[in-house]
């Protein structure tokens, strides 16, 4: 079956511009996560969606970052007024909450470069 997909795969933008990153989770997965991976670093949690519950936004680094999930499926991560420190790979993951260990399946990521 199809895995997690993300678009675009690469995004180059100018400082101050807004960007939108898209994530299509695995069909039937109720949980969706966004992480950020800066060069040579581990993954940093950004936000988590579970069903119709209020999202866990505790990892968002500033109010320039926001995300939504429409219809319990596709999610969009928006970064407003991008800064150079926002350059990173943005990874989306999904999981079934019910299960022995709720393994998260990751997408290929969007590489964001802010000039």
**Where on the chain is the footprint of another protein (CB under 8 A)?**
31, 33, 35, 41-45, 48, 50, 56, 59, 89, 91, 93, 95, 97, 100-109, 111
To another protein, the closest distance from the beta carbon of 67 in angstroms equals 14
Q: How far is the CB of 76 from another protein (least distance, A)?
A: 19
- Output 43 or 80, the one with its CB closest to another protein: 43
What does the H/E/C string look like for 13-63? ECCCCCEEEEEECCCCCCEEEEEEECCCCCEEEEEEEECCCCCECCCCCCC
Residue owning tokens 């969009």: 76
Taking the complex as a whole, the smallest distance from the CB of residue 102 to another protein amounts, in Å, to 7
Query: What's the token pair of residue 45?
Result: 């949690």
């Amino acid at each position: 079956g199809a895995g997690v997909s993300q678009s675009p795969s690469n995004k180059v933008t100018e400082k101050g511009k807004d960007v939108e990153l898209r994530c299509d989770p695995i069909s039937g997965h109720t949980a969706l996560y966004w992480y950020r991976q800066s060069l040579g670093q581990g993954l940093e949690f950004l936000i988590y969606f579970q069903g119709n519950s209020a999202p866990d936004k505790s990892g968002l680094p500033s109010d320039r970052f926001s995300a939504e999930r429409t219809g319990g499926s596709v999610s969009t991560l928006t970064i407003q007024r991008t800064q150079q420190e926002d350059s990173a790979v943005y990874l989306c993951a999904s999981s079934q909450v019910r299960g022995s260990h709720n393994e998260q399946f990751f997408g290929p990521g969007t590489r964001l470069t802010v000039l």
